[in-house]
Amino acid sequence: MTNKPRSRSILRRVRSSPYLFILPALIGLLVLVLYPFAFNIFITFTNMNVYHIRACANIFANVTQSNQQHCYALDSGVQNNLFYNFGFVFTDPAFVQILENSVIWTFTNVFPTVGLGLVLAFVLNSKVKGKTIYRMFMIVPWAMPSFITLLVWKGMYNYQFGIINSLLNEIGIPAVNWLNGSCFNAFVAIVIANIWLGYPFMMIIFSGALQSIPQELYEAASIDGAVGFTRMRAVTIPLIKPTIVIALLLGSIWTFNNFNSAYLITGGGPGICTTIFITQAYNQAFSYFNFALAATYAFIAFIILFVPGFFWTRYTGLTRGGGS
C-alpha cells in the first residue's frame, strides 16, 4: 500500500461512496414524492379547494398580493375539527363498499394479469417461430393510450350495439347487460378490460427475467432429468422468484390506484358498484373541487397499501441489500 496523501484517499472514499450513487435518486424522491406526500397529509387537515390553489399560484406569480394564509387554506372558519375530512370519509355509508370494491378489484386483477404475463413470457421464451411478430401484437394494449382503448371497450360492452353481445348472440347466449345491469356484470367488464391493459407489461418484465437465466443451467437440468413442467417448477420459477414477487407487489399497488379502467368504462357505476378509492378521490377533486377530501381518500388508500406492502417486502426479502 503506497502512502497516499490523506486528502486524496478521503476524496476517493467520497467519490465512490454508495450514498453518492443513490443521492440523485433520493433527492428526486424527496422533492417530488415525499414533499407532495407531506403536503397531502397536511391538506387532509384543511378544506383546501380549487380557489385556494388559484390564489396560491397567483401569489407565487406575484399577480396578487392576497393573504398568504388564504393560500394554505387556513382561512376558513368552516371547520373547527381538524379531522373533519376523515370523519366525513369514515362516516360515509359508501365507505365500506368502496373499500370492498378496491380490495376485490385488486385481487381479481393482479393474479390473472401476472399469470397471463408469465405464461406468455414462457411460451415466447421457448422454441416457437415468429416470436418477434407475436410480441409486437402482444404489446399493443400497452402501446396505445388507454383512454381511447378503454372507450372502445366501453363501446364493445354496449348492451344493444356492442360487439361482445352480438358475438354472444351468434353462439346462442342471450345479451348481457354489462354496464348498467348487475354489479357483478359491471365488475367483470372492467376487470377484463384492465387485464387486457395489464398483461403486456407483465410479459415484458418476465421475459427479461427469463432471459437472464444462463443456458447452461437448462442444459444441466436436461441431463439431470428435469424437462418441461418439472423443469419449470424446480429450476426456472425459483430463479425468477424475485421478479414474480415484485410484479405481484407493484401490480397490486398499481391496480389498487388504477384510475382509468374503473372510471372510463362505468364511471364508477352502476351506483357505486365499481367505485374504488382512486375514482372517489378524483370525483371529489375534480367534480367538487374539494382537494382536501380527495387528499383524505388518497391518504387512506396509501395506508391501506403501505401496511401490507411493508410486511410483504420484509417477508420476501425484496429490499435486502447486496454488500460486497
Partner 1 sequence: MAQVRLEHITKSFKSAPVVDDVNLEVKEGEFLVLLGPSGCGKTTTLRMVAGLEKPTKGDVYIGDSLVTEVEPKDRDIAMVFQSYALYPHMTVHDNLAFPLKMHKYTKEDIEERVTKAAAILEIGDLLKRRPKELSGGQRQRVALGRAIVRDPKVFLMDEPLSNLDAKLRVQTRVELKNLQKRLGTTTVYVTHDQAEAMTLADRVALMRQGAIQQVGSPTEVYAHPANKFVAGFLGSPTMNFIDGVVRRTDAGIVFDCGEFSFMVDPALASAVTGVTSRDVTYGVRAEDVGVGSEPREGSVEVTVFGSELMGSEQFVHGMKEKLKIVARAPMDFQAPIGSKVWMDLASPKAHLFDAKTEKALT
Partner 2 sequence: MTAHSSTAKSIRKLAASALKHAFLIVMALVSIYPVLWVISIAFTPGESLGIPNLFLGIFPIPSSFTLEHFTSILKLQVVVGSNFPVWVRNSTLITVSSVVGALLLTLPAGYAFSRRKFRGQEASMFSFLLPTMFPGVVTIIPQFLLFSTLGLVNSYFAVIIPYMVGSLSLSIFIMKSAFDSIPREIDEAAMIDGAGELRIFTRMLLPLTLPSIATVALWAFMGSWLDWALAHVMLESNSLWTLPLALYAFLQPNYTYYGSFSALALIMAIPVFVVFVVFQRYLVTGLTAGSVKG
Residues 40-99, interacting with partner 2 (CB under 8 A): 40, 53, 56-57, 60-61
**Which position among 149, 266, 283, 290 is part of the footprint of partner 2 (CB under 8 A)?**
149
Residue 318 makes contact with partner 1 by CB under 8 A: no
Of the two residues 151 and 227, which places its CB atom closer to partner 1 in the complex?
227
Instruction: Give the residue from 194, 179, 213, 74 showing the smallest Cα distance to 146.
Output: 194
**Which position among 7, 161, 172, 223 is part of the footprint of partner 2 (CB under 8 A)?**
161
Of the two residues 186 and 281, which places its CB atom closer to partner 2 in the complex?
281
Residue 37 makes contact with partner 2 by CB under 8 A: yes
The site map against partner 2 for 171-210 (x = CB under 8 A) is -------------------------x---x---xx-xxx-
User: CA distances (Å), 321 to each of 249, 267, 324, in order?
Assistant: 18, 43, 10
User: CA distances (Å), 229 to each of 111, 151, 204, 211, 322, in order?
Assistant: 20, 39, 21, 18, 31
* Contact yes or no for 86/44 (Cβ under 8 A): yes
Shortest approach of partner 2 to residue 29 CB, angstroms?
6
Binding window for partner 2 (CB under 8 A); candidates: 87-95, 96-104, 139-147, 176-184: 139-147
Side chain identity at 218, as an amino acid letter?
Answer: Y
Residue 224 makes contact with partner 1 by CB under 8 A: yes
| Contacts for 284 with CB less than 8 Å, ≥ 6 apart | 290, 291, 293, 294, 297
Query: Cis omega (within 30 of 0) on the bond before 270?
Result: yes
The beta strands (E) that lie in the chain are given as none
Binding window for partner 1 (CB under 8 A); candidates: 112-120, 167-175, 178-186, 237-245: 237-245
**Which position among 10, 14, 96, 136 is part of the footprint of partner 2 (CB under 8 A)?**
136
* Contact yes or no for 106/194 (Cβ under 8 A): no
Shortest approach of partner 1 to residue 235 CB, angstroms?
6
Q: How many CB atoms are closer than 10 A to CB 218?
A: 14
Of the two residues 237 and 318, which places its CB atom closer to partner 2 in the complex?
318
Instruction: Give the residue from 264, 299, 290, 291 showing the smallest Cα distance to 279.
Output: 264
**Which position among 11, 230, 232, 310 is part of the footprint of partner 1 (CB under 8 A)?**
230
138 binds, among partner 2, partner 1, none (CB under 5 to 8 A by kind): partner 2
Ramachandran angles phi, psi of 10, nearest 5°: -65, -40
CA angle (296 as vertex; 180, 58 as ends), nearest 5: 105
Shortest approach of partner 2 to residue 80 CB, angstroms?
25
- Looking only at residues 275 through 304 of this chain, which bind partner 2 when binding is defined by CB under 8 A? 277-278, 281-282, 285, 291, 294-295, 298, 301-302
Binding window for partner 1 (CB under 8 A); candidates: 22-30, 36-44, 217-225, 256-264: 217-225
